[in-house]
Amino acid sequence: SDTALPHKVRDLSLAEQGRHQIRLAEHEMPGLMTLRERFGDQQPLAGARIAGSLHMTVQTAVLIETLVALGAQVRWASCNIFSTQDEAAAAVVVGPHGSPQDPRGVPVFAWKGETLEEYWWCTTQIMLWPDGQGPNMILDDGGDATLLVHKGREWEQLGAVPGAQPEDPEEWKVILETVRAGLADHPTRWTDVAAGLRGVTEETTTGVHRLYQLHEAGQLLVPAINVNDSVTKSKFDNVYGVRHSLVDGINRATDVLIGGKVAVVCGFGDVGKGCAEALRGQGARVIVTEIDPICALQAAMEGYQVARLDDVIGQADFVVTATGCKDVVTAEHMRRLKDKAIVGNIGHFDNEIDMAGLARVPGVQRTEIKPQVHEWTLPAETVDGADRPQRSVIVLSEGRLLNLGNATGHPSFVMSTSFANQVLAQVELFGSPEDYPLGVHTLPKELDEEVARIHLGSVGADLTELSKEQAAYLGVDVAGPYKPDHYRY
């Protein structure tokens, strides 16, 4: 493109379609729109240069434009190869006042269906700012952008980027190459990016887990805010968002009736709870697998059968992974499935289902039904004296998160609660660094309650107010916070 605004998206002519969707999404995102009104004049993010790595959807477009409305400069990539909505990416580049010929929005590097190499190239682009500076804030989902800077700096400081080992997984080799490529024209790239950073805000369970591990190992370079564990994030997005978008993904991918079928949900954390409820709501018989006795007992109390995958795999019509763990559904599990059973993952990374193992099954054949929907045909075989005829397994989004690969992720209203936390986390970390020493923090409960409060009106919820006497009796302030930090909701 001949424009000065750097970007790489599918097609800028999709921008008008994207803009209409963004306009409708704004109506459903009262949290973000309230923050624009509240902070628009103060410009609390003036001077912030935010590198964002988060699914480039319509809802994320509203987030990006909210950060800009608060004064930030922003560059964006998606945090998954399949999750971009190309029309949203185009609209963000064009901006509300530009045109495809004269884009005036935000540099976005994202399209649906990237290769791994392209994915990591896009992640590098959000670290390269035109004046030779880097970002001073990262807004991350899953921790890949944070990982790139930390690994890049570590290897640079060691004086050598390690060579790819034969046992390295494919993606790790690509990360090594990405770090090397970043050094080609700027030998101290990652040290400089790290030195310029003020902080990271992290969206999801898996990314937060990585941050705590980094900090425990003494390797965390900048303060971080764990957005996931705001109550108004994990107890809303992970549960009610998934309750909507899991079934949306299955339906758009396969259009198979869920009612009357057997669905196995692996993991009964926040995401698993949303999955199980959605599938039961469609009339499926839901079986839950868990490793944590508390979550297993919760599932039982909700009326779900709790079983081991090994024991129930042959009954399943659907298997959904929601654990954030690895190797949950093995190739052997998939060999034991019924003909045309559907397998998908809704956890963050693609290591919950052993796709590499499935590809190695002798004689297996992969047929693309449509993008992000593949039929894997397994040859007839005899195992322990039992005959297994030829049959096939339907795998969604190649084992990557199916609600964003096969559908468009969570709906706007629930993302408004998540992203209001993201915006407040950016404002806090950028504007009040003295309150956030090196470590992983959650937002103060007043802000969590405020995020909920600004969403009540849109759903017609009238909040009861404590009297002074009642507040004194409970030992809380009339204005909150209403619960101690250890309260679990």
Instruction: Note whether 79 binds ligand NAI by CB under 6 A.
Output: no
Whole-angstrom distance, CA of residue 409 vs CA of residue 102 = 30
267: left (phi over 0), alpha (psi -120 to 50) or beta: left
Residue count at the site for ligand NAI (CB under 6 A)?
30
Segment contacting ligand NAI by CB under 6 A, of 8-16, 71-79, 80-88, 202-210: 202-210
Smallest distance, ligand NAI to C-beta of residue 309, A: 7
Nearer to ligand NAI, 88 or 93 (CB): 88
289 is in an annotated binding site: no
User: DSSP secondary-structure letter at 42?
Assistant: T
User: Among the candidate windows 5-13, 33-41, 56-64, 343-351, which touches ligand NAI by CB under 6 A?
Assistant: 343-351
Task: Pick the binder of ligand NAI from 66, 83, 232, 238 (CB under 6 A).
Answer: 238
CB-count exposure of residue 348 (10 Å: 0-12, 13-18, 19+): buried
Does position 290 interact with ligand NAI (CB under 6 A)? The reply is yes
419 binds ligand NAI (CB under 6 A): no
Rounded to a whole number of angstroms, the minimum distance from the CB of residue 412 to ligand NAI is 14
For residues 366, 370, 373, 374, the Cα torsion angle rounded to the nearest 10 degrees is -10
| Piece in contact with ligand NAI (CB under 6 A), picked from 30-38, 172-180, 260-268, 465-473 | 260-268
Nearer to ligand NAI, 278 or 401 (CB): 401
Is 295 a residue that touches ligand NAI (CB under 6 A)?
A: yes
DSSP 46: T
Between 18 and 347, CB nearer to ligand NAI: 347
Query: Judged by CB, which is closer to ligand NAI: 44, or 267?
Result: 267
Per CB under 6 A, which region of 70-78, 131-139, 189-197, 285-293 contacts ligand NAI? 285-293
Cα–Cα nearest to 393, from 355, 427, 425: 355
Site for ligand NAI in 320-339 (CB under 6 A): 322-325, 328
Exposed (0-12), middle (13-18) or buried (19+): which is 384, by Cβ within 10 Å? exposed
Nearer of residues 15 and 266 to ligand NAI, judged by Cβ: 266
Q: Give yes or no for residue 348 binding ligand NAI (CB under 6 A).
A: yes
Q: Which of 73, 125, 146, 234 binds ligand NAI (CB under 6 A)?
A: 234
Which residue type occupies 401?
L
Asked if residue 76 lies in contact with residue 108, where contact means CB atoms within 8 angstroms, the answer is yes
Query: DSSP assignment, residue 284?
Result: P
Q: How far is CA 22 from CA 19, 40, 207, 421, in A?
A: 5, 19, 27, 19
Rounded to 5°, angle at Cα 453 from 450 and 459 = 150
What is the smallest separation between the CB atom of 311 and ligand NAI, expressed in angstroms? Answer: 13
CB neighbour class for 383 (10 Å; exposed up to 12, middle 13-18, buried from 19): exposed
Radius of gyration of the chain from its Cα atoms, rounded to whole angstroms: 23
Residue 347 annotated as binding?
A: yes
382 known ligand binder: no
| β strands within 293-340, DSSP E | 305-306, 318-321
Residue 292 binds ligand NAI, judged by CB under 6 A? yes
Please tell me whether 239 is known to bind a ligand: no
- The span from the CA of 176 to the CA of 148, in Å, is 9
The residue whose Cβ lies closest to ligand NAI is 269
Nearer to ligand NAI, 73 or 416 (CB): 416
Q: Which is nearer to ligand NAI, 234 or 254 (CB)?
A: 234
- Has 182 been labeled as part of a binding site? no
* CA gap 331, 362 in Å, rounded: 11
**Per CB under 6 A, does 346 bind ligand NAI?**
yes
**Does 110 sit near ligand NAI (CB under 6 A)?**
no
Sign of CA dihedral 99, 102, 106, 109: positive
Options 135, 143, 272, 411; binder of ligand NAI; rule CB under 6 A: 272
- The residue (of 322 and 395) whose beta carbon lies closer to ligand NAI is 322
Closest to ligand NAI by CB, 105 or 411: 411
Considering the rule CB under 6 A, would residue 267 count as an interface residue with ligand NAI?
yes
Cβ(343)–Cβ(376) below 8 Å: no
Task: Look up residue 405 and give its two tokens.
Answer: 């690969």
Within a 10 A sphere around the Cβ of 135, how many other Cβ atoms? Answer: 24
DSSP characters over 109-155: E--SS--HHHHHHHHHHTT--TTS---SEEEESSSHHHHHHHHHHHH
Of the chain, the end-to-end C-alpha distance in Å amounts to 50
Binding of ligand NAI by 406 (CB under 6 A)? no
The one segment of 199-207, 253-261, 430-438, 476-484 that binds ligand NAI by CB under 6 A: 199-207
- E strand or H helix at 264: strand 262-266
Helix (H, G, I), strand (E, B) or coil at 263: strand
Query: Under the rule (CB under 6 A), what is the footprint of ligand NAI?
Result: 204-206, 234, 237-238, 242, 266-272, 289-292, 295, 322-325, 328, 346-348, 401, 403, 410
Please state the residue numbers annotated as binding site for substrate.
57, 141, 203, 233, 237
Please state the residue numbers annotated as binding site for NAD(+).
204-206, 238, 267-272, 290, 346-348, 403
Please state the residue numbers annotated as binding site.
57, 141, 203-206, 233, 237-238, 267-272, 290, 346-348, 403
